[in-house]
Structure 1
Amino acid sequence: MREPDAGTFRKPREDVVVSVCFSELAAGPATFAAIRDLAVRLDGAYRFREIILVVDDTQRAGFLDLVREVPNTRLFVVRRGTEYYDRRVIAAEEAIGDLVILGNLEEIAALDVLAFLDFAEAENAVTMAFRPARRPFKRLLAWPFIALGKLAGFNVDPSEFQSIAVPRTLLNLLLAHDEPRLALRFPPRDPRLPREWFRTAVNVEGRTAFTGIGRRLALLQTLLVYLTPTLLTLVAVSSGVLTLVGLAYAGWIVGAVLLVDSLAPGWLTTNAMLAVSAVFMGFSTLGLSLGLQHLLKQQRRLKADLVPEEVNRIDLFQQVAFDLNVVLESEAPAPPAEG
């Protein structure tokens, strides 16, 4: 006999708002059925919840019936081709819950989502789903990303589950990170962001080592770009060393001219050109690297092209206030005038 779900007989909680976000969905009966099932499970455990869907603008019509059918489902459309990591940032920024899941629909359908949320709340940590049994070949392919991630300060392992559960306070810290696209997928190595593993034995079908090659290449590019300040520092140091070597070489040439009675024909001009080239390359590369570092420090993140269009607007705060019979200060009647 199958044991009942952990949250089957508990009373729906009213002290917390839950947001579950999906940033990669395909319109189809299987997707719609999984979202309906998730809504039923959440409604049995939480009185206030929202489901956020971020889809291509070409799929807008396919999801309209679903958002009308499932209450408190918010639909955001973005331009076709918007990167997966950018979509996760959009979903996280729009979520209003005290507990937020950034998930993959197939993984969430296989996980015990209520236990996942309870674990994240109890540990007050960025919680990642973890499956101990993994193929060695898949682990081997992930090593270049793991090594680059460590250099960049992230816990990168593309073979891990994509779903994370985060309390609101920690989600704000992830969004405030210099690179929130990476931080929301691979939590940074930061003592302010404790990380825990929600261990599960389930395996999601269709997840192979070669799934999402384009996304892996985009991840590799993002990691290399994030390492730009470190690489520029190395370039600056090496350029400074090259400049000093060129200057020392020029001093040696001057000493040779002053101390040696007879030099071989062409020796002076050849070595002088070498010294000048070394000093010039060192100074120019050093200047360029320092200038780029200065620009990177001054640059602010521009999010103008990450603003999505919300198809259906819901006021979950107003619903919470109405259900709990709370009078907002802005709606409270004015006190009677004296005299």
Structure 2
Amino acid sequence: MTRIENRREDILVSVCFSDLPSDPETFAALRALADRLDARFRFREIIVVADADTHEAYFPLVQAVANLRLLAVQPGCGYYDKRIVAAEEAIGDVVLLTRSEDIGFLDPVAMVERAVAGNRAILGVRPAPALARKGLWAPVTVLGRMTGFKVGPRDLQTIALPRTMLNQLLAHPNPDLALRFPPRDPRFPLAFLEAAPGIAQSRGSTLLQRVQLVQKLLIHLAPALLSVVTITAALLALLGVAFVIYVLGAWVLVDELAPGWLTTSMMLSLTACFLGVSILGLSLGLQQIIARQDQGTLGNLAREVNRIDLFGQVASDLNVDHDSLPPQPAPRPMETSDVRQRG
């Protein structure tokens, strides 16, 4: 068994593709990527997710690239659902979720190395966009900040995640959204790696996919909106109570009131009190339900340090690492006289 110098043997790397084109150019690029990973990491796997009705087109790739796993999903499975499948099936210590359009402009080895060294997620980003593109993305960026996600015009769909952080994202109520837009959370450290100039704008995402992502961001805006509703309902209830006190005071102190004013004002004040208290109770109840569901979403485990070396233990038990063992002399043939003496 030949050893390659400067090749890491302490981690298993998983590279996942959820929408890989089945053309010869892409297959050649993937073979080059596999060679590049093999030059640095001894243990790696490549995961390709494809529809069950078209997965046979990837059989030549499975035969050409070692340690490649082809996962066939039901037809009609969405792009982001495929990303979840790939992330769940990956067994690596570091998982790189990427696309064929991005991988040629990024350094996957550097992303994995930085993710391991800093125990943080590494997100690929485009070079600085034009001012007009920033302006178009401004509403979505603000929406992402309000919902707790990192959303920006430079973000690519390539991200390297240590195993612990990947498990946190998969445990999110919306893992497809969390894998696309990393959460803004101090428990989720995030760094960036800029892509080489010349990377094209995203063509893989359809308008429907983008609308669905914006819709999910709006859904995650619910806690912030409920906070505003809670404050507004509390103010409405207080104003209703103050109006009731004002109406009662006018009824006691004023000798003559306009016909119908007392009953109309009392009904309005009681209606304001009822609506304020009702909306306040509903919003507080919904906030409690959301808080229970989101409690501990990212978890508190930051990293794991151990001395487990399963690969080395298996190699030692099976005696397959011949380079580390000195040659043993052949045993001396047993003669007949020796057998008689032992008998």
Q: Which TM-score applies when normalising by structure 2?
A: 0.76
Residue 96 of structure 2 aligns with which residue?
101
Match of 1:123 among 118, 127, 131: 118
Matches within 5 A, 1:266-281: 266-281=260-275
Shift of 1:101: 0.5
> Cα 1:298–1:123, aligned 2, differ >3 Å: closer, same or farther?
closer
Q: Secondary structure at the match of 1:14?
A: strand
Counterpart residue identity of residue 231, structure 2: V
Match of 1:260 among 238, 254, 274: 254
Find the aligned partners of 2:92 and 2:85 in 1 and give their Cα distance: 14
Match of 2:235 among 226, 241, 244: 241
Shift of 1:102: 0.8
Q: Secondary structure at the match of 2:192?
A: strand
Residue 311 of structure 1 aligns with which residue?
none
Shift of 1:149: 1.8
TM-superposition CA deviations, 1:22-49 (whole Å, max 9, x none): 1223433343333233223222332221
Counterpart residue identity of residue 130, structure 1: V
Larger Rg: 2
Find the aligned partners of 1:276 and 1:178 in 2 and give their Cα distance: 40
Matches within 5 A, 1:175-190: 175-190=170-185
Q: Is the 8 A contact 2:133 2:153 kept in 1?
A: no
Shift of 1:267: 1.6
Structure 2 unaligned segments of length 5 or more: list them.
296-309, 319-343
Structure 1 unaligned segments of length 5 or more: list them.
1-8, 302-318, 328-339
**Count of paired positions:** 301
Residue 106 of structure 2 aligns with which residue?
111
Shift of 1:242: 0.8
Shift of 1:325: 4.4
TM-superposition CA deviations, 1:111-140 (whole Å, max 9, x none): 232233233333332112233332222222
Q: Secondary structure at the match of 2:151?
A: coil
Residue 63 of structure 1 aligns with which residue?
58
Shift of 1:103: 0.6
- Quick check: 1:39 aligned with 2:25? no
Residue 5 of structure 1 aligns with which residue?
none
Find the aligned partners of 1:299 and 1:193 in 2 and give their Cα distance: 19
Shift of 1:269: 2.7
> Cα 1:252–1:125, aligned 2, differ >3 Å: closer, same or farther?
same
Q: Secondary structure at the match of 1:233?
A: helix
Q: Is the 8 A contact 1:240 1:282 kept in 2?
A: yes
Residue 313 of structure 1 aligns with which residue?
none
Find the aligned partners of 2:145 and 2:197 in 1 and give their Cα distance: 27
Shift of 1:249: 1.0
- Quick check: 1:223 aligned with 2:214? no
Shift of 1:322: 9.4
Residue 226 of structure 2 aligns with which residue?
232
> Cα 1:57–1:228, aligned 2, differ >3 Å: closer, same or farther?
farther
Residue 214 of structure 1 aligns with which residue?
208
Matches within 5 A, 1:1-339: 12-207=7-202, 212-299=206-293, 324-326=315-317
Q: Is the 8 A contact 1:131 1:203 kept in 2?
A: no
Q: Which TM-score applies when normalising by structure 1?
A: 0.77
TM-superposition CA deviations, 1:230-272 (whole Å, max 9, x none): 2222212211211121122122112212222222122223222
> Cα 1:157–1:81, aligned 2, differ >3 Å: closer, same or farther?
farther
Residue 3 of structure 1 aligns with which residue?
none
Find the aligned partners of 2:48 and 2:165 in 1 and give their Cα distance: 21
